[in-house]
Structure 1
């Protein structure tokens, strides 16, 4: 066996790790081995959010400074024990009617995915075979607006959703902005969820037009927070909680408390993305701040009754 390959046995699964010294984040000196170590250590809180969901990976074979590609279909050499689900992909750019999606339900699969240099993990708002059980609102800042302004809009969105009996949970995106995740009943289809999110986004944009937009056009976004309601479409995915992001530093999508969001919105603490090391410290202190997302929430109000 080549010296850069190492067999490991994880919970009854045999797999091989490779090139552990390769720099994935050169500016930070963060290696592939450290990527795998991070995902292994964060697995107890990450895996429940991946379980049962088709995974889209963004792979960086030569690190964040090299070429990358999105991968939905199973890669060549996928072990026989990895869970695969064949699902339709209408409109696929590869002219295929179905793809074999990887589903990360166990630690060994997560480590295998990480060993393929899958730095970013993205999932849809639904579990395979079910309607959406999450409503996700993506808050995308247009410069010079940044994360601090996202936090202020997040609090407005939180309060608006609460009027309809919905509870929102915040997390950073790990890049520029943040997302609010809302557990819902799982009894309504994606079109209903998207329609509701769009109505609420447009309502807030009408109330604060100088700071918020619900329009897709990039020309209207500078200096505003774009409330991206379209993340709830059946074909869309959102970065998973605790996933790494491909920036100069190994930042991660990090669950926050509302007290932290408020402090950042008010300028009491710096509004910034957090690193993998900080995420692990937070998990040790707080556990999974998004654990409530794993329990179904209420149904969304009908369009005619939305407050």
Structure 2
């Protein structure tokens, strides 16, 4: 069944609204669209100007998925698009036409495509579509079992202390999966990837039982890997307030530092779409300073 709607004056056709995209939770496409529509006021500022990569799950989280960087051919003409070079593309493409999600209608369009996960880089494009220097530093904390997000929280506190020494204010969020990410505004002092790598290596030396700075999986059990490589301009990180394709409709959720410091169980930092909407009502955008 197709339903024509108007979103902020833009015409859209929504389809298969009763399709269950999270079978274990019974969460439908209609609920995905509703979530993104309601969270848009706090989500859109973090997508503004950032080329979009999505993970689409047309048959739900238990079905096949695919990453999509190129804006689909049927993308409405009113969706902003920019063509950017992609050196080293695995598909041997010289450029990609990315969508930029800057309004509710575009967000609803992608939600209707079952684009459950929204991923963006740490840089924006100018009004003319030129890539700008990175404006964010991100550190992705990935726990190697049996370590959990509780261990990530302990490492996050260490990182906050070190970044504060350099005058950087850090904002934490869950990944919506098993780890978490830390963000700080960036101002071109050095390449963020170089800075992040040096930071990770320093913290590994200071806390060798807790932290690892290399990707080698056999070295990671029981430790938290600080993935500094997310600052590579070609990489993206899941956006704050994005859904994740887990058994439940969990969300990459901005956190209070008090929650990070007090965390004693992984369950304390698992938030579903409904939880996040309630948190936004209570706290507003906890990621506003990032």
* Interval of TM-score (by shorter of Structure 1 and Structure 2): over 0.9
> Residue 7 of structure 2 corresponds to which residue in structure 1?
10
Residues 1:155 and 2:157 aligned together: yes
How many angstroms apart in 2 are the aligned matches of 1:74 and 1:174? 25
Q: What residue in structure 2 maps to residue 42 of structure 1? A: 39
Deviation of 1:273 (Å) = 1.7
Structure 1 segment 65-214 matched on structure 2, within 5 A: 65-128=62-125, 129-185=131-187, 187=188, 192-214=191-213
Q: Distance in 2 between matches of 1:188 and 1:108?
A: 36
Runs (5+) with no aligned partner, structure 2: 126-130
- Number of residue-to-residue matches in the alignment: 285
Cross-structure match for 1:242 = 241
Contact in 1 for aligned 2:150/2:266 (Cα 8 Å): no
SS of 1:252's equivalent? coil
Q: Is the 8 A contact 2:148 2:266 kept in 1?
A: no
Deviation sequence 1:218-272 (CA, Å, 0-9, x none): 11111100000000000010000000000000000000010010010xx289543
Q: Which residue of 1 aligns with 2:19?
A: 22
Q: Is the 8 A contact 1:123 1:238 kept in 2?
A: yes
Which deviates more from structure 2 when the two are superposed, residues 90-99 or residues 277-286?
90-99
* 1:33 equivalent in structure 2: 30
The CA deviation at 1:96 is 1.1
**Is contact 1:132–1:188 with CA below 8 Å preserved after alignment?**
no
Give secondary structure in 2 for the equivalent of 1:292.
coil
Q: If the length of structure 1 is used for normalisation, what is the TM-score?
A: 0.91
- Deviation of residue 188 (structure 1)? 5.1
| Conserved? CA contact 1:147–1:271, under 8 Å | no
Distance 1:64 1:159 in 2: 38
User: How much is the aligned-residue C-alpha RMSD, in angstroms?
Assistant: 1.1
The equivalent of 2:128 in structure 1 is none
CA distance in 1, matches of 2:204, 2:265: 26
Structure 1, unmatched stretches of 5+, are 294-307
Partner of 2:259: 260
**Structure 1 residue runs of 4+, over 6 Å off?**
none
CA distance in 1, matches of 2:278, 2:91: 41
Q: Which residue of 2 aligns with 1:296?
A: none
User: Which residue number in structure 1 is paired with residue 278 of structure 2?
Assistant: 281
Tell me the distance in 2 between the aligned counterparts of 1:241 and 1:178. 11
CA contact (8 A) 1:263 1:269 kept: no
